[in-house]
Chain A
């Protein structure tokens, strides 16, 4: 706390710097803020397909919701910690050719994670402030669901796949960690309230699988989210 106060003093910021004029909205005067955010994201699952020439893993859209807290150390630097529940999905597609006709079969893997990002938040600007976020995150893969239009080889009808993802403790690494970075815009709505628009990427550095076989293709998530938040400063 003392450190934060000293930093504000050093930066020449105090609660009333306007000389009696109407104060501009400057939410960065406050040391703490808490906020909520909703997000839409696109997730890329990076892996190898080797000789499976007709197989592609496509990015897929997802949504998320979260809360976060900021602590301002300097005018230009604060730290943000959050907790968010978000989908990190991908679509597997096999564009196959049967009897000369191209067909395709695909499955969407909807994976839900809880991510805890810890970010250094560099910001500039007097009223509306621009932010650069750099940091990391920890994640936990809570559940998954598969929806697919599979080849109805043995199927009674074309029901395809629609079932929860079965975690296999031999294969699935449910903990994830990686880098978090992005850009943001904070628009003050009042002296205490601000709206945040952030574009943040969570770049996974841990394989989604445990090392369970000698020759293993790694799997990494990269999730880029457009986040809309509301923060209260105090």
Chain B
């Protein structure tokens, strides 16, 4: 019988083992998309591709084949460099085609072409339904409503964050009212703290009228709190969103308890599908709020975006809440445009250096680094879903009572969406 040498046997096994240990792949070395500088067409393309590749929060449901886009457009952008200069239209079209159809409805991409001294802005997500909201016409019709009273308005089309309208409209019962509020944007807390506004009292007046003097803390002594107000309309049509911190005073104050409306998560690694766990998303009850539930209608349209959509979703989940009008826009991620803060915390969302772009009004208006192919990507940081983990991105909040925007009726002095809301609240519901 042959004698086996155990040490020779062990040595062989260990040698094979060592070979296997070397089989692990090395980690990638990636450039930070927030600080990367580009000096060619291709570098700019690659920086944006990589940035979106590693930081985009909606990869779990986006259907764009991002690797295929890279393979398709890499030679195109390389050819731009080989040619030296490129027609602006051709360059713009390449970018349009390269980013087309990404799901994030907040996403906005800015690109600077130093060879042509042109800045390009792109919105990759597309909605199959769109219109402009004629807010002026809607406000004019509101003012003419029979029995309108306590009407307070501040509307400056150049500065929408300051805008709001409040009033009372006749309710279902004689002597009772519907309190109406239209918010230009969600900027209540910002406005409350802003002491630089010369006409602050006029700007605040509708908010003070509807919520009360301490409006940044919810409903105190305003119209909404009055005993003779039996129901409420929050008009979010054309509202582009704003500060999520405003959800609590603006919408949470209509409730009697805090509200958990869904979950949020963000990216945690460089992998497209590296996510944090789902965190409960909700709004706390503000200092001042209604002590008795009142029916609430959210008036919405396709231009109700972001925070306006979260507000709509929250109202929809309220037992006495109803959404009337159109589906909302479908841009439901939360984000912060300032890349020097949030990107460095979450490594997701907006990236790029806006300071590398030409800045009108700053110095001579030329870019600080004129040779740089600057880029900036405005994109969501937090993916938000409903309580049953349904995403509203690209879909929006569906109305309970659908009333499409009717431009012809508006031109003729009828706001069919407002009419539907009033008729609902004046009916037996």
Residues of A that sit less than 8 Å from B by CB: 6-7, 10, 46-52, 54-55, 74, 76-77, 92, 94, 96, 98, 107, 120, 122, 132, 134, 146-148, 150-157, 159-163, 165, 168, 170-171, 178-179, 181, 203, 205, 207, 209, 212-218, 220
Using A165-B277, A216-B28, A217-B28 as known contacts, list a sample of 14 further A-B pairs with CB atoms less than 8 Å apart, ordered by residue number in A. Answer: A10-B3, A48-B28, A120-B13, A146-B276, A148-B276, A151-B345, A154-B382, A156-B283, A205-B21, A213-B66, A215-B54, A216-B271, A218-B26, A218-B27
Kindly list the 6 A-B residue pairs having the minimum CB-CB distance in the complex, ordered from nearest. Answer: A48-B27, A156-B282, A161-B277, A51-B32, A146-B277, A50-B30
* Contact A152 to B279, CB < 8 A, known contacts A122-B6, A214-B53: yes
Q: A48-B270, A50-B28, A205-B23 are in contact. Are A163 and B277 (CB under 8 A)?
A: yes
Q: A212 touching B273 by the CB < 8 A rule?
A: yes
A134 x B17 contact (CB < 8 A): yes
Q: Hey, which bits of chain B sit against chain A, CB under 8 A?
A: 1, 3-4, 6, 9-10, 13-14, 17, 20-21, 23-32, 50, 53-54, 60, 66-67, 70, 244, 258-260, 264, 268-273, 276-284, 334, 344-345, 347, 382, 384
Residues on A with beta carbons closer than 8 Å to the beta carbon of B284: 156-157
User: In the complex, which residues of chain A have a beta carbon less than 8 angstroms from the beta carbon of B271?
Assistant: 171, 209, 213, 216-217
- Within the complex, the shortest CB–CB distance from A10 to chain B, in Å, comes to 5
Q: Is the CB of A163 within 8 A of B278?
A: yes
Does the CB pair B27–A168 fall under 8 Å?
Answer: no
CB distance from A195 to the nearest CB of B (A): 24
Give the docked Cα–Cα distance between A178 and B20 (Å). 8
Inter-chain contact B30/A51, CB cutoff 8 Å:
yes
Cβ contact within 8 Å between A155 and B281: yes
Query: Nearest-CB distance from B128 to chain A (Å)?
Result: 27
Whether B259 lies near A156 (C-beta < 8 A) is yes
Some 28 contacts from A to B, beta carbons below 8 A apart, are: A10-B1, A74-B6, A107-B277, A122-B6, A122-B9, A152-B279, A153-B382, A154-B279, A154-B281, A154-B382, A154-B384, A156-B258, A156-B280, A156-B284, A159-B279, A160-B279, A161-B279, A168-B60, A171-B272, A171-B273, A178-B20, A179-B17, A205-B20, A209-B271, A215-B30, A215-B53, A217-B271, A220-B24
Q: Which residue of B lies closest to A214 (CB)?
A: B67
Residues of A within 8 A of B14 (CB): 134
Identify B1's interface contact among A6, A107, A203, A205, CB under 8 A: A6
B25 and A218 form a contact (CB under 8 A)? yes
Given contacts A107-B268, A205-B24, A218-B25, contact A213 B260 (CB under 8 A): no
Chain A residues lying within 8 Å of B31, measured Cβ to Cβ, are 51
Contact, CB under 8 Å: A50 / B270: yes
Shortest Cβ distance from residue A173 to the other chain B in the assembled complex, whole angstroms: 12
CB nearest neighbor in B for A145 = B277
Residues of B within 8 A of A170 (CB): 273
- Bound CA span A170–B70, Å: 19
Which residues of chain B have C-beta atoms less than 8 A from A162's C-beta?
277
Identity of the chain B residue whose Cβ is nearest the Cβ of A73 in the assembled complex:
B4
CB distance from A17 to the nearest CB of B (A): 19
Min C-beta distance of B410 to chain A, whole Å: 35
Instruction: Give Cα A48 to B115, complex, Å.
Output: 36
**Among candidates B20, B279, B347, residue contacting A179 with C-beta atoms closer than 8 Å:** B20
CA A148 to CA B30, docked complex, whole Å: 27
